Amino acid sequence: MIEISTMPPWLLFLMLGAVSAGGLYHLCLWLCRRNDTLQLWAAGWCAITGSYLVSHYVQVSSEAPERVVLGSRLMWVCALLIILVVVGLAQTLVRGRCSRRSIVFLGGLNATLVLVTMLTNLIATDQIYQRTDRLGGQYWVPVPGPLMVLLVPYIFAAFIYCFTIVWRATQLDRGERRAFLVSFSVYVAGGLNDSLHAARLIQSVRVFDYAFVAAAFGLTYLMVRRYTHLCESLETEVAAQTRNLRTRQEQLGALVRAGQVVMAGLDLQTVLTRLIGEASRISGAPHVAVLLRDGDSRRLRMAAQVGDAYPPGHELELGQGFSGIVAERGEPIYVEDVVDDPRNTIPDRDRASGIVAYLGLPIKAAGAVLGVLVFKTVVPRSFDPEELVILTSLAHQAAIAIEKARLYAALEDRVSHLQTVTRLNRMISSSLDGDRVLHEIIQAAPSCPALRWRPSGSRTKRRGCSRLSISPIRLWMPIGR
């Protein structure tokens, strides 16, 4: 009776426990994240690993020929299936998804080889013989069929393909890519060793079982490492998004406060000062200013500022300097380096104040440019689109404040004029002293547009008189009076 060396049951159970734990781990991850198919491929790898181990144990621990042949053929089926899984896993690892064309092709080819393995004697025959490896271990194996030797280049080509696409995958982390390349190298070496040994081309020791387990352990470790990095990146991203959210909340709060200032205040200087204070808080710019246009003229004058970006009483023409260009074009302008820009009209002052960047936003109302909201920073920075939206809203608030102040001033003037006209009308109606009446009218005429003076040279003259209109009363005064 020949003693057959078999795999110790405790070692089999240990390796099965390892690959089963890895398979369940990857399967649970895939169930939680269905869009991550990499975990499904890894779970499939572990499942086939377990099947391979059981098949190998059936082969080496049996003495009945039919059980030896069945175990061997199941081993080859698992080896063919693992080729499909390895290719799919490598493609998913590198590209984020698997090529359906390659999987369909390999699936069809492997399905054909599986049928050939299970139903014919081309891969493994029904005859068995006793094999002794280099360590002296003896076990029963089927006599290899004529096509078994052809599986060697097929397995080698599949693993070389996987090795190549991972080697070229620059998007992978360097440590992760090296680990996969080492795993593939060990894996293909173990697979080729066992294939050549089974085909009786070399005399060696079968190690693919252990390479299987080592690769499954390595794959699980790399997945855990990847998810650890993912969690760290996610925590960092959450912290960054939380900071951004707080910043946006502060900006919106400042915008609300600015709106309250605009709605509650009537004094333009006070409103603009508080408005640019909120603008400085939102943008982080230490120098914020508002330049207003004098009516329909082409001049801009300093209305309010935070910091000392501009000298007191600063004025400039439209088209002159950064702010003049903003007012003339009615479009925002951002300048990354103001000191070396030839359009800057005060480069020495900016250099002395340490100013680096400039942002100018037009203050518009009904399509007309009323002024410019200016931001100057002392550190290099850019303004993202969300910041520009909020800062542009501040420019709109400034436009509302300017229009509101102008309307209020016009209303006050109109009330004052109406009061003057009312007083004069009452005096004319009640007083008989013509000299006093005319004196009061002449005193009030320059400041009251309701009093319209027509000199004697006009078409509406009477001989020797000039006409003075006090709505709704019209007087004629002798020129000599």
Tens of pLDDT along 249-284? 776 676 666 666 666 666 777 778 888 888 888 888
Angle between helices 385-430 and 434-444 (to 10 degrees): 170
Quote the longest CA-to-CA distance of the chain. Answer: 155
Residue 321 near residue 349 (C-beta atoms within 8 A): no
Strand partners, 358: 335, 376
State pTM to two decimals: 0.52
Positive or negative: CA dihedral 270, 276, 282, 286: negative
Given this model, what pLDDT does residue 2 score? 40
User: CA 363, 350, 386: angle at the middle one, nearest 5?
Assistant: 40
376 pLDDT above the threshold of 70: yes
Q: Residue 457 pLDDT > 70, yes or no? A: no
Is the pLDDT reported for residue 105 higher than 60? yes
Query: Where exactly are the structural domains of the chain?
Result: 9-235, 265-403
Task: Give CA 297 to chain center in angstroms.
Answer: 44
Give the domain 265-403 fold.
Beta-Lactamase (3.30.450)
Q: Residue 343 above 80 pLDDT?
A: yes
Q: Do domains 9-235 and 265-403 have the same CATH topology?
A: no
pLDDT at position 456: 44
CATH superfamily of 9-235: Rhodopsin 7-helix transmembrane proteins (1.20.1070.10)
Q: What pLDDT is stored for residue 133 in this prediction?
A: 77
Task: Give whichever of 56-60, 266-270, 470-474 has the largest mean pLDDT.
Answer: 56-60
The fraction of the chain above a pLDDT of 90, given in percent, is 9
Residue found by looking up tokens 């175990």 in the block: 71
CB atoms within 10 A of CB 312: 7
